Amino acid sequence: MSAIFHAGISGARGRMGRAVSTVLDEREDVVVAARFDRGETPDLSLCDVVIDFSTPEASVELARACAERGGPALVIGSTGLTPEQETDIHKASEKIAIVRSGNFSLGVNILIGLVEHAAQRLDPRDWDIEVLEAHHRKKADAPSGTALMLGEAAANGRGEDLADVRAAPWDGITGERTPGRIGFASLRAGGIIGEHTVLFASEDETLTLSHSAIDRSLFARGAVAAAAWVRSRKPGLYDMQDVLGFRQA
């Protein structure tokens, strides 16, 4: 059995916080040392690592607090961060180890690699790319963090920056599609956990790569695996590609 470590849960009363709590409680190598939400002041000294599924503002506040005291390590799953907030997280990672990901699913992270490889091989003059995603009615940001990760993978495969090739939403009289652009479409309804599809379409064929989340616990289990991995790492900003060993150190 692995050495026992102490974990905290930020955003503990939210959907993902509750799922993470359930997964942690099932493990014999983890002691849950703190459960808290925004506005509450936890004793961070009790934790080796904190798993955070809260809000962008709360994630930044937590990262600053952990960086100021030199720990604990962080796993951040909040999405919808602004560029300024992303910069704040990056600065905190100079003092502590942080795993930051828009999705902790193994399947999604494999999908990201497949999308990048497909985009490398399909000529942007002939193949359009659309990223489609669907989530529950309470999700606050769109496109989802995972959809943006998939869009970035497609752009990387083409040697482009997503910001330079991202298409505006299709609405009204838009005119013809500009070759090489990457589009996004979002759906919010009911209790959908997470559906992501990347569509590559030419004039005479389509290629569809997709992932469906069946149970929210898959994200929680990935986040807990990231926590077990990052708690002993040196300061830096990591993602699930690092945790899963897909990226060489």
Task: Assess if residue 135 is contained within a domain.
Answer: yes
Over 60: is that where the pLDDT of 157 sits? Answer: yes
Same domain as 154, residue 178: yes
Whole-number pLDDT of residue 145: 87
DSSP conformational letter for 55:
-
Task: Assess if residue 94 is contained within a domain.
Answer: yes
pLDDT band, residue 244 (cuts 50/70/90): confident
Q: Nearest 5°: CA angle at 133, between 113 and 22?
A: 80
Mean pLDDT of 129-147: 94
Same domain as 88, residue 28: yes
Over 80: is that where the pLDDT of 1 sits? Answer: no
Residue 135 corresponds to which tokens in the numbers above? 């989530």
Residue 93 corresponds to which tokens in the numbers above? 């990672």
pLDDT digit string, tens, across residues 169-208 = 999 999 999 999 999 999 999 999 999 999 999 999 999 9
Residue 19 contacts residue 62 (beta carbons within 8 Å): no
Task: Assess if residue 17 is contained within a domain.
Answer: yes
Q: In a 3-state reduction of DSSP, which class is residue 218?
A: helix
pLDDT digit string, tens, across residues 4-18 = 999 999 999 998 999
Same domain as 131, residue 168: yes
Same domain as 94, residue 137: no
Residue 52 contacts residue 80 (beta carbons within 8 Å): no
Nearest-CA neighbor of 36 among 61, 71, 4, 67?
61
Same domain as 114, residue 42: no
Task: Assess if residue 126 is contained within a domain.
Answer: yes
Same domain as 158, residue 61: no
pLDDT band, residue 249 (cuts 50/70/90): very low
Task: Assess if residue 249 is contained within a domain.
Answer: no
Whole-number pLDDT of residue 102: 82
What is the total residue count of the chain? 249
pLDDT digit string, tens, across residues 36-66 = 998 898 999 999 999 999 999 999 999 999 9
Q: φ, ψ for residue 154 (rounded to 5)?
A: -65, -45
**CATH code for the domain in which residue 138 is found:** 3.30.360.10
Alpha-carbon distance 150 to 145, whole Å? 9
Residue 181 contacts residue 135 (beta carbons within 8 Å): no
Q: Which domain holds residue 23?
A: 5-104+216-243
Active-site residue set: 135, 139
Alpha-carbon distance 180 to 158, whole Å? 9
Task: Assess if residue 225 is contained within a domain.
Answer: yes
| Chain centroid, CA 62 distance in Å | 17
Same domain as 41, residue 24: yes
Residue 14 contacts residue 51 (beta carbons within 8 Å): no
Task: Assess if residue 248 is contained within a domain.
Answer: no
3-state helix, strand, coil in the chain (%, to 5): 35, 25, 40
pLDDT band, residue 247 (cuts 50/70/90): low
Looking at the structure of the chain, the number of domains it has is: 2
Same domain as 201, residue 170: yes
Same domain as 142, residue 79: no
Same domain as 113, residue 99: no
Alpha-carbon distance 119 to 40, whole Å? 45
**CATH code for the domain in which residue 10 is found:** 3.40.50.720
DSSP conformational letter for 211:
E
Same domain as 125, residue 69: no
Same domain as 220, residue 99: yes
Residue 181 corresponds to which tokens in the numbers above? 């652009």
Mean pLDDT of 73-80: 93
